[in-house]
């Protein structure tokens, strides 16, 4: 499929993700004044909105990659790439820059979504950039707005400012030290949503969690930012303490687990996505804390993306049969890890 050629490279923000806070994201959603929400539109109405927004985006963002999400495999591919999620519309249209840090999505559940994603803990930076982009767009469009409720969106949780801030965190220390109740204790005290690796309605896997602000109605932009930063800071401190505790009291057990994971990744002939994700996660942790004999973390990050089902299928021009998926995943892991040696 020709469209995938523009997305052969691993996104820079993903491959160079931060150690504990893998990435930060700011997202604004807006709807055009006087237009129905996308899920109630017929094709001609969606096309009209797409063309209208396209004209303005072409003047604001040049040389962006574009893709229409008109098949299930595309939705899955861009969900794995953290641009869409599994609840996204089948009619979405994506504009994204070469490194996939700046993305505009038209006709998802709202007419327009502006999304900025960067590696590491940089909430201030992604928030500032997203707000700057929205101010430019507000000079181009009249967005649906109510004096009482703020910006009107397809979801009540987005109505208000329309801003969602989130971070993707890698917290193996907390999970290995069985400190997960501390995460729950933090979330009870703050209006935060906890999700898995792929965002909305995804399971927590591979020691990754995504936490995001929950409401935008009655909450200022600055308060949303400050509240999430406080929660992230507390989780960071908990993860660092958990890592220290594991290294002090269970280092041999961790070394054994890392050795077993490496052996499986380097020799398995059949491996599922969940199993590969679990072993790569342990090896990633080992790489972060300086264990010898494990691959560079950049390679691990790359593998974490390309072992996922739609990306693995993309390597084989989407002609890979389901029964061969686990075999080809094991082959990919062996070959890429061998190149590292």
36-82 pLDDT, tens digit per residue, is 999 899 999 999 999 999 888 887 877 899 999 999 999 999 999 99
For residues 122 and 103, give the distance between their C-alpha atoms in angstroms, rounded to a whole number.
Answer: 17
* Distance in angstroms between the alpha carbons of the first and the last residue of the chain: 32
- Per-residue pLDDT of 225-281, as tens digits, reads 999 999 999 999 999 999 999 999 999 999 999 999 999 999 999 999 999 999 999
Residue 54 pLDDT: 87
Position 188 pLDDT exceeds 90: no
Residues pairing with 192 in the sheet? 213
- Per-residue pLDDT of 13-38, as tens digits, reads 999 999 999 999 999 999 999 999 99
Which runs of consecutive H residues, i.e. helices, occur in 43-117? 43-60, 72-80
Burial degree of 205 (CB within 10 A; 0-12, 13-18, 19+) = middle
The model carries a pTM of 0.94
Q: How large a percentage of the chain has pLDDT more than 70?
A: 99
Residue 306 in tokens: 């390309």
Q: Nearest Cα to 218, choosing from 143, 148, 113, 155?
A: 148
Q: Nearest Cα to 273, choosing from 194, 336, 202, 206?
A: 206
Question: Which of 62 and 96 is assigned the larger pLDDT?
Answer: 96
Residue 255 pLDDT: 97
Position 186 pLDDT exceeds 90: no
Position 139 pLDDT exceeds 70: yes
Position 341 pLDDT exceeds 70: no
Residue 70 in tokens: 């008109």
Q: Nearest Cα to 32, choosing from 168, 138, 182, 159?
A: 138
For residues 276 and 289, give the distance between their C-alpha atoms in angstroms, rounded to a whole number.
Answer: 20
DSSP tally for the chain: helices H, then strands E: 12, 10
In sequence order, which residues have a C-beta less than 8 Å from that of residue 297 and are 6 or more positions away?
284, 287, 288
Which of 136-140, 184-188, 190-194, 318-322 is the least confident region? 184-188
Q: Answer whether 140's CB lies under 8 Å from 32's CB.
A: no
Residue 303 pLDDT: 98
Residue 115 pLDDT: 97
For residues 204 and 199, give the distance between their C-alpha atoms in angstroms, rounded to a whole number.
Answer: 9
Residue 34 pLDDT: 93
Mean pLDDT, rounded, of the chain: 93
**What number is the average pLDDT over the span 204-231?**
91
Phi, psi of 154 (to 5 degrees): -70, -15
Residue 124 pLDDT: 98
Question: Which of 189 and 218 is assigned the larger pLDDT?
Answer: 218
> 30: how many CB neighbours lie within 10 A of its CB?
23
């Amino acid at each position: 499929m020709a469209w995938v050629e523009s997305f052969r490279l691993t996104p820079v923000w993903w491959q160079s993700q931060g150690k504990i806070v893998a990435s930060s994201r700011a997202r604004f959603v807006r709807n055009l004044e006087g237009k129905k929400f996308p899920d109630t539109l017929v094709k001609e109405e969606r096309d009209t909105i797409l063309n209208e927004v396209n004209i303005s985006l072409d003047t604001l963002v040049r040389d962006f990659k574009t893709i229409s999400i008109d098949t299930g495999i595309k939705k899955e591919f861009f969900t794995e790439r953290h641009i869409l999620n599994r609840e996204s519309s089948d009619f979405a249209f994506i504009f994204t820059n070469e490194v996939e840090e700046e993305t505009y999505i038209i006709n998802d559940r709202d007419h327009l979504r502006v999304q900025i994603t960067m590696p590491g803990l940089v909430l201030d930076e992604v928030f500032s950039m997203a707000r700057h982009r929205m101010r430019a767009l507000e000079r181009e469009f009249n967005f649906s707005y109510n004096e009482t409720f703020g910006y009107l969106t397809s979801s009540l949780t987005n109505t208000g400012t329309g801003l969602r801030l989130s971070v993707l965190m890698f917290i193996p220390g907390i999970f290995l030290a069985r400190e997960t109740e501390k995460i729950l204790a933090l979330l009870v005290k703050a209006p935060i949503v906890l999700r898995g690796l792929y965002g909305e309605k995804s399971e927590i896997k591979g020691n990754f969690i995504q936490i995001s602000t929950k409401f935008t109605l009655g909450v200022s932009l600055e308060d949303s930012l400050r509240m999430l930063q406080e929660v992230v800071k507390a989780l960071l401190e908990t993860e660092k303490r958990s890592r220290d505790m594991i290294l002090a009291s269970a280092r041999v057990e961790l070394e054994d687990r890392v050795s077993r994971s490496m052996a499986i990744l380097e020799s398995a002939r059949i491996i599922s996505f969940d199993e590969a994700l679990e072993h790569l996660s342990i090896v990633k942790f080992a790489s972060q804390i300086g264990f010898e004999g494990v691959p560079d973390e950049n390679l691990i990050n790359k593998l974490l993306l390309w072992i996922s089902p739609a990306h693995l299928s993309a390597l084989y021009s989407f002609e890979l049969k389901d029964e061969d998926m686990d075999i080809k995943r094991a082959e990919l892991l062996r070959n890429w890890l061998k190149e590292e040696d």
